[in-house]
Amino acid sequence: MMTRRTATWVVGSLLILAGMLALSACGALGVSVSGLAAKPTATPDAKTILANLQKVQYKDIEFKLTLAGSTSGSSSSAAVSGDGSGVITMSPKRAQISFNVTSGGQQFALDTIEDIDGNTVYVKFNTALSLVFPPTSGSSPTPAARSAR
């Protein structure tokens, strides 16, 4: 019959043995098990990474966008934030992006479809925008710019 002290010693010894085996399998103790010690891998340089990217064949890509920042102007600055999502397909070559932006108390949403094969871009604003662009030299200001003066 095994005493409690002997049982504790046996269990403790088995745990230490299991830990040593696990560490030696990883190469942490410098012990090689049939030459299977872990070896560090070389860090690839930019040229290697770009060469590997050229080999990748994508079919479809889905992604999400997040925007956070600020604008600066002559009189004030405003926080800008937004989010959106998109899909890029390779056959046909097309991208579809939906984006929502909030800036200076204005909110707007836009949807775009870029058809690469057809060389066409569709843009739909879901909100009317009140944008004022300064006139370029030699042109007359727009009615909205005139009323803002």
Q: Output phi, psi for 87, to 5 deg.
A: -140, 135
- Let me know if residue 106 belongs to a domain: yes
Query: Which of 90, 97, 91 minimizes the C-alpha distance to 114?
Result: 97
Residue-wise pLDDT tens for the chain (149 aa)?
456 556 666 666 767 767 776 766 655 545 555 555 667 788 888 998 888 888 887 788 899 989 898 877 666 778 889 999 999 988 888 999 999 988 877 888 889 999 988 889 888 887 765 555 555 555 555 444 444 44
- Let me know if residue 83 belongs to a domain: yes
pLDDT of residue 27: 53
- Let me know if residue 63 belongs to a domain: yes
- Let me know if residue 81 belongs to a domain: yes
pLDDT of residue 43: 87
Token pair belonging to 125: 């604003």
Query: What span, in angstroms and rounded, lies between the C-alpha atoms of 75 and 115?
Result: 39
- Let me know if residue 8 belongs to a domain: no
Domain range for 100? 56-129
- Let me know if residue 26 belongs to a domain: no
- Number of domains within the chain: 1
- The reported pTM is 0.46
Query: Which of 148, 113, 118, 115 minimizes the C-alpha distance to 134?
Result: 148
pLDDT of residue 90: 85
- Let me know if residue 67 belongs to a domain: yes
